[in-house]
Each structure stands twice: as C-alpha cells, then as structure tokens.
A and B are shown apart, each in its own frame.
Chain A
Amino acid sequence: MSKQVENVRLHEIAHARAGDKGNRSNISLIPYNPAIYDCLLDQITEARVLDLFKKKGASKVTRYELPNLPALNFVIDDVLEGGVNSALNLDQHGKTLSFFLLTLLVKVPADLYKSKKN
C-alpha cells in the first residue's frame, strides 16, 4: 500500500520563532500537529538548514530535539553578519529569519497534513 505524500512548505505545518545572542541565532520549529514531528526529524537536518543560511555566512548548525513539546531548536552560528551591534542588514537581530526557515519544503503524509488543515 503506498501512502499519499504531499510536498509542502514548512510554513503549512509548523511555526517558528527566532532569537539572537551575539552573532548566533536560534530558531525553534514547532509542528502544529505533534504527529508531524517525525517528518521534521527526518527531513529538517542540520545540513539542510546550514545550506539554507550559508549565503548569510552561517558556519555551523546544531539541532536540538525536544520530543516532549514536540519541537526542534536550531542554533545557527555566524548567521547574523555581525549581530545586533554591527550587522549592515536591516534586520540586525535576525528576527525575520524564522520565516526564512519556514520556506523549506517537506514531504508529509497527506492524512497528517489534512488533519492540521481540518
């Protein structure tokens, strides 16, 4: 039996918030439907997130898992182009970066995706 899979933007299935400390950003990633956590775990890897933010100077991504919430927390080094005190980017805190993470595509079983959308 083959399960139907949909390719959707993270924004459809999860929410996120960015915070800054120095030249480092952390972005939480929280699925609306806890059953989708495993999809995130499989597909939103450190390598993929590093690849997304490399153009902004990201040097390293560390992913922390919080299965009880459930949520993932990405810590992205050197992504703030100097950080709040020296970045030339309009968004010196990187507050908008959570919604850049949410542009990544992810494959989810159609039944889980629909359950979020009711």
Chain B
Amino acid sequence: MVSSVVHIGCGAGFSGDRVDAAIPVVATLAKKEGPKYLIFETLAERTLALAQKHRRKDPSHGYSPFLESYIRPILKKCHECGIKIVSNFGAANPKGGAIKIAEIAKETGCNDIKIAIVEGDDLLQIMSGADIQNHPTIEGLDIGDNEVLAANAYLGARPIAEALQKGADVVVVGRCTDPALVLGPLIKEFSWAENDWSKLAAGTMAGHLLECGGQVTGAYFADPGYKDVPNLANVGFPLAEVKSDGTLIITKAENTGGLVSAQTVKEQLLYEIHDPENYYTADVILDISKVEVTEVGLDRVEVSGANGKPRPDTLKATVSIDGGWMGEAEMSYAGPNALKRARLAIDVLKSRYRDIGTNYPIRFDILGTMSVHSGDNEDITSSHSYPEDGDYRIRVATCGHEKEVIERINQEVLSLYCSGPAAGGGFRQHLTDQVQTASILVDREKIRPKVNFLTGNV
C-alpha cells in the first residue's frame, strides 16, 4: 500500500552541527502515523579528504567523527518508533561507520537492527589516480599531476531506496548528493519511477530544503529588528511532510525555538543554487524557477511548483589534493592611538617579509576596521575613516607548501611582542593542513553503487 504522507526530519545540516538537535525531531516524528525518517547531512566538500587521511592511519576509522554523538542519543527511540535513519556519515568508510552503529545498538539494547551500507562512490576503487587526473576540472583547481588524496562521485537516491526496500533500519552512505538522503526514502515509499521527473524534482527540492538543518527554520537568518527569531538558542530542526504527488510542507520539531516562514524557506530555497532552472543532481535536473512558497499555518509552509528535467549522463565527483599549509597569526592593539600602532605593526611586518624574501601570498587585516568584506590587497584604512582610538587586532594570513616558511611568517608576528610597536598583546597563531578540491564529471555508467548489509556479530 502506498502511504499518503511521509514524514522526514533532519538532525544535522553539516559536520559539526548541534549534537542534540535530533532529539526533539525524533520526539515529533514518533507521534506521526505512517513512514518516518531521520536524516543527518554531515559531509562537506573537504570532509572526505580528511576522513580518507584518518582511514589511511587506521583502517577502522574514516567515517564521520561525529557519528557517535549524533546516533547514540536517538538510536533506541528511533528503533522503537520505526523511524529509519539515513545519513552520509559513512564518509570515507561507510562499513566502519556501520560497525560503529552496530556497537552502539548493542550497548543501548536495540535488537535486530538492520544496518545497510551504500558504497561505490570511491573513484580510487575503480580507476587509477592518473585516470582521475586526466578528467578536466569543471570547478576548482586543476588537478595536474598532484597526488589524489580522495575522489568520490556523488551517488543518487536509488541505492538508498534499494537499501530501504530491503528492510534497512539505518542506511550508511559515503558521498551522495545531499538531497538524495531525502529523495531515497520518498522513492522507496512512493515507488516513483526513474523518469518521473516532476516527482523526483519535488523530492529533490524537499531534500534541498532539509539538508542544511536549521537553515530553513530560522538559523543563519536572524537579523535583530529586521528578521527576529524566537528562542534561536534552541532552534528546532526541520521536518518535511511529503505526499505521493510531490506536495510538500516544511515544518519543524515541536517545543523548540526558531520559525518556519515564507522568508526562511525562500532563503534556503536559493541557498547554493546557481541557475534556478538547472540544479544538477544525480537523479534529476531540478528547476525551481516557478516555485511558490505559501504560509499555510503556524510554522507550516507549503512549497510547490518544482519542475524536473532528465538526469544528466554524468555524475559530479570531488577530487581532493594536498593543499600545503595555511598560517594565520594575530596581535591586538587597544586604547589611545591604537589604529596607528596596528598600522605600524603591519608596516614592520611587510619590511621583515621583504627581507625574508618569500613569494608566498600574504594578507594583512586590521580586525575592527573592514576585514571580511575587503579584498586581499585592499588598503582599508586609507580609504575609510576609523577612530584612531579603539580595540584593533592585526591578522596575517599566508599559504604555501613549505611548512618552515609558514612558521617563519607566523613567528614574525609573535616577535612583535618585544620588537614591535607599544603594547601589542594577545598573540595567537594557527597552522592548518590544507586540502584543495576540484570537481570533475564522470560517466554515470562507470559508477556502480552497491548495497550491502552488515552481517554477523560485531
């Protein structure tokens, strides 16, 4: 029997999102009739390369480091209430993630839990690094002959639907399109055909609206006096109610803060969208150019009018290569004449860096004047007027492949303590291991997703 409404909640919108946000979502889902799902989206572009590094160090690692903190508080309740969990927290090691979940299931008394693993996104399993390097880049850097740290295709919703069809309670995916986490359950429940483009488009739009968690329910939104959000500290994460015809309502967890309004939904609808008529995914090309957004009740917004076009013949893949090091160092100057002292500190550093003779790019900021909105080479303090007295902080940022050079650039900021202008204080520095990414297109036929179930005792 085809269900009339499918309820899907989102428990995390990025790797690092709140670990307790899923609890009220699960409490809300538990009261619903019919099929119920909880998704976690935890895999940004760079996350996979870092996960791959972890896996190389220890083959049992490489899944999301947040997996346990997301799963442990809600697994038992989900299992008791028939809420299926779908997530890409498998990262570079979906099987390792599944084993971890099985351990948590055992510890929390969830018996007979079926955990599915979706694999097949890892290009390094099916082609050589050289083959990958030969693909032209569509976005990001040229790969050149740099060593490929990770290369993963964005899988679509079909293997997720297959896993659910086979009875999975939890589906652990590596790289897939974010909306596939939502579209997969909808395909399973409604048996939408592979070429039913308008329905697939509606399901993809539902996924797009849910995938960033609180970003559709008042988070990343509040602007006091203009866009006020009640109880942002406890913002409720979203739920979607989807019908078999693709009708979609966005709402949020009960007894939480935040809000769902036409405004919050419009902002998220266009988030990370380029051409609204052509949002490419593995399952369908989504067209949101005719979408309408209507408030139909308190914290309830109907979203309609998604159109779909046939899916592309290629899948997007993200390739990660070593990006060298990034150095950042900061020092504060405050009180009378602070701006002039901060500027003098930067003049001193520029002179020192000329003497060192580095050709690495170096950016200078004075925090407290315009910084994030300024260009790398913009001289802010000459073109704008800021108070001479104040609380300013200089920041130096650089990147390159020689760690010693980066360390030397940072160290020059440290040396301002004793050798710079008067009363510099509060030095901090960072040295960050960088990963660069590029996007390529891969022939869909080459990618063969596989669904397996975790078997045996863990």
A interface residues (Cβ-Cβ under 8 A, vs B): 11, 15-17, 19-24, 26, 28, 30, 32, 55-57, 62, 64, 66, 68-69, 71, 73, 75, 81, 83-86, 88-91, 96-97, 100
Contact = CB atoms under 8 A, between A and B. Distances in A.
A19 B178 CA distance: 15
A66 B399 CA distance: 39
A48 B300 CA distance: 36
Contacts of A32: 263
Contact of A17 (B46, B271, B275, B395): B271
B33 interface: no
B371 A73 contact: no
A86 B436 contact: yes
Contacts of A64: 274-277, 289
Contact of A71 (B139, B270, B376): B270
A66 B289 contact: yes
Given A57-B375, A90-B372, A68 B292 contact: yes
Nearest to A58: B375
Contacts of A57: 375-376
Given A26-B273, A85-B435, A55 B374 contact: yes
Interface residues of B, number: 53
Interface string B373-410: 11110100000000000000001011100000000000
B267 A30 contact: yes
Contacts of A91: 372
Contact of B375 (A15, A55, A66): A55
B365 A90 contact: yes
A16 B436 CA distance: 28
Contact of A75 (B274, B398, B435): B274
A22 to B, nearest CB: 4
Contact of B376 (A23, A66, A81): A81
A17 B267 contact: yes
Nearest to A85: B436
B305 interface: yes
Given A19-B271, A75-B274, A91-B372, A86 B399 contact: yes
Given A28-B271, A71-B266, A83-B140, A11 B376 contact: no
A85 B323 contact: yes
A64 B273 CA distance: 10
**5 nearest A-B residue pairs (beta carbon):** A19-B272, A28-B270, A88-B363, A91-B372, A88-B397
A68 B290 contact: yes
Contacts of B373: 96-97, 100
A68 B291 contact: yes
A22 B45 CA distance: 9
Contacts of B274: 21, 24, 26, 62, 64, 73, 75
A29 B140 CA distance: 25
A15 B223 contact: yes
Given A69-B291, A75-B275, A86-B323, 13 more contacts: A15-B227, A17-B221, A19-B272, A26-B272, A32-B263, A64-B275, A66-B289, A68-B289, A69-B293, A73-B274, A83-B140, A85-B140, A88-B362
Interface string B347-364: 000000000000001110
Contacts of A69: 266, 269, 291-293
B369 interface: no
Contacts of A83: 140
24 contacts: A17-B268, A17-B271, A19-B272, A26-B270, A26-B272, A26-B273, A26-B274, A30-B270, A57-B375, A64-B274, A66-B270, A71-B270, A75-B275, A83-B140, A84-B45, A85-B46, A85-B435, A85-B436, A86-B141, A86-B323, A89-B363, A90-B365, A90-B395, A90-B397
A83 B271 CA distance: 16
Contact of A15 (B226, B326, B397): B226
Nearest to B383: A55
Contact of A55 (B273, B326, B378): B378
Nearest to B290: A68
A56 B378 CA distance: 8
Contacts of B275: 62, 64, 75
Nearest to A69: B266
Contacts of B291: 66, 68-69
Contacts of A15: 223, 226-227, 263, 267
Given A19-B272, A26-B272, A71-B270, A84 B46 contact: yes
